[in-house]
Structure 1
Amino acid sequence: MNNDFKNYIFILIFSLFLSFQGHAQFIKQESPGIKTAGDVLLFAVPASTLATTLILKDREGSWQFTKGFILNQAVTFGLKVALNKPRPHHNGDNAFPSGHTSTTFQSAAFIHERYGFKYSIPAYALAGFTAFSRINAQKHDGYDILAGAVVGIGSSLIFTSPYEREHMELTFSSNEHAALLGFTYKF
Structure 2
Amino acid sequence: MPKFSCTTVLLSLLLMLSTNNVQASTTETTADVLRIAIPAAAWGLSQYYADDEGTKQFYYGFATNIAVTYGLKMAISKQRPNGEDDDAFPSGHASMAFQGAAFIQQRYGWKQGAAAYALATYVGYSRVKTDQHDSRDVLAGAAVGILSSYFFTTRYQGFAIQPYATSNMLGLNISKRW
TM-score, structure 1 normalization = 0.71
Query: 1:39: which partner in 2?
Result: 32
2:153 counterpart of 1:160: yes
Query: 2:140: which partner in 1?
Result: 147
Query: Number of paired residues?
Result: 139
The secondary structure found in structure 2 opposite 1:88 is coil
Query: 1:98: which partner in 2?
Result: 91
Distance 2:41 2:111 in 1: 16
- What is the identity, as a one-letter code, of the residue corresponding to 1:167? F
Matches within 5 A, 1:21-170: 32-164=25-157, 167=159
Distance 1:98 1:34 in 2: 16
- In structure 2, stretches of 5+ residues that fail to align are 1-23, 161-173
- What is the identity, as a one-letter code, of the residue corresponding to 2:118? A
C-alpha deviation, 1:137, in angstroms? 1.4
C-alpha deviation, 1:167, in angstroms? 3.3
Distance 2:76 2:132 in 1: 16
Q: Relative contact order (alpha carbons < 8 A, sep ≥ 6): 1 or 2 greater?
A: 1
The secondary structure found in structure 1 opposite 2:90 is coil
- What is the identity, as a one-letter code, of the residue corresponding to 2:159? H
- What is the identity, as a one-letter code, of the residue corresponding to 2:84? N
Q: Which has the higher helix share?
A: 1
Query: 1:174: which partner in 2?
Result: none
- What is the identity, as a one-letter code, of the residue corresponding to 2:28? K
**Dislocated runs of 4+, deviation >2 Å:** none
Distance 2:41 2:104 in 1: 10
Identical-pair percentage = 47
Larger Rg computed on CA atoms: 1
Distance 1:43 1:83 in 2: 24
RMSD: 1.5
TM-score, structure 2 normalization = 0.75
